[in-house]
């Protein structure tokens, strides 16, 4: 039986400190993210979803309105994407020339793009996610609620995401979501990864 697995963290627990402490990563990855994987595998056992890829489970459960399966599958996908949207300070690289041109066309500058992403993170009411996406080659910032995800949305290519559920920042920043978002956009976005995603078909 093929189960959904917990993807390895791409860096050590303390690699994002102090913006995101080792303690936050240990709970966020080791309890929240791992918990979604365990719950999903329990929910899909013996159902039509068993053996499907994670992306297939997201799409099929969205279509069928199976909320519990969708929520857990989408959260796994979003968390995989989140860990791979972040990099240790100084290791996130720069946007490729193609991505930089798209950033400038949409936002005017890279700083303005970072500001728009942080703003979306702050303004998302309640739990959710702030995304930088490409839609038919044009960049946009958007946010989603709870587990909702651009995964599988036609014409939408996610490039970067910030988790704005309280579990992502509360141990380090308490209620100061804006300070967390600012620290992430200024020091920890993986622009090399975003550039590879932007260039991919």
Positions touching Mn ion (CB under 5 A) are 163, 165
Quote the tokens at residue 49: 């979803």
134 within 8 A of 157, measured Cβ to Cβ:
yes
- Closest separation in Å from C-beta 55 to Mn ion: 19
Taking the least distance from each CB to Mn ion, the nearer of 163 and 190 is 163
Phi and psi (nearest 5°) for 33? -60, -50
Taking the least distance from each CB to Mn ion, the nearer of 28 and 182 is 28
- Closest separation in Å from C-beta 78 to Mn ion: 7
Taking the least distance from each CB to Mn ion, the nearer of 35 and 152 is 35
- Closest separation in Å from C-beta 82 to Mn ion: 7
- Closest separation in Å from C-beta 33 to Mn ion: 7
Q: Determine the residue with CB nearest Mn ion.
A: 163
Taking the least distance from each CB to Mn ion, the nearer of 77 and 165 is 165
Closest CA to 182 of 124, 131, 120, 134: 120
Q: How many helices (H) and strands (E) does the chain have?
A: 9, 3
Question: Please, is 116 exposed, middle or buried when counting C-beta atoms within 10 Å of its C-beta (0-12, 13-18, 19+)?
Answer: buried
């Amino acid at each position: 039986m093929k189960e959904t697995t917990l993807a390895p963290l791409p860096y050590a627990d303390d690699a994002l400190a102090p913006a995101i402490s080792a303690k936050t990563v240990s709970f966020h990855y080791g309890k929240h993210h791992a918990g979604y994987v365990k719950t999903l595998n329990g929910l899909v056992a013996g159902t039509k979803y068993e053996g499907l890829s994670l992306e297939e489970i997201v799409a099929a459960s969205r279509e069928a309105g199976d909320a519990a399966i969708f929520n857990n599958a989408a959260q796994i996908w979003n968390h995989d994407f989140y860990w791979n949207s972040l990099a240790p300070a100084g290791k996130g690289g720069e946007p490729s020339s193609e991505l930089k041109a798209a950033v400038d066309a949409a936002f005017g500058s890279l700083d303005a793009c970072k500001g728009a992403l942080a703003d979306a993170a702050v303004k998302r009411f309640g739990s959710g996610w702030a995304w930088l996406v490409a839609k038919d080659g044009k960049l946009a910032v958007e946010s989603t609620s709870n587990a909702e995800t651009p995964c599988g949305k036609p014409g939408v290519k996610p490039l970067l995401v910030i988790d704005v559920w309280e579990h992502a920042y509360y141990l380090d920043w308490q209620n100061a979501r804006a300070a967390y978002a600012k620290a992430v956009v200024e020091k920890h976005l993986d622009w090399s990864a975003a550039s590879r995603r932007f260039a991919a078909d």
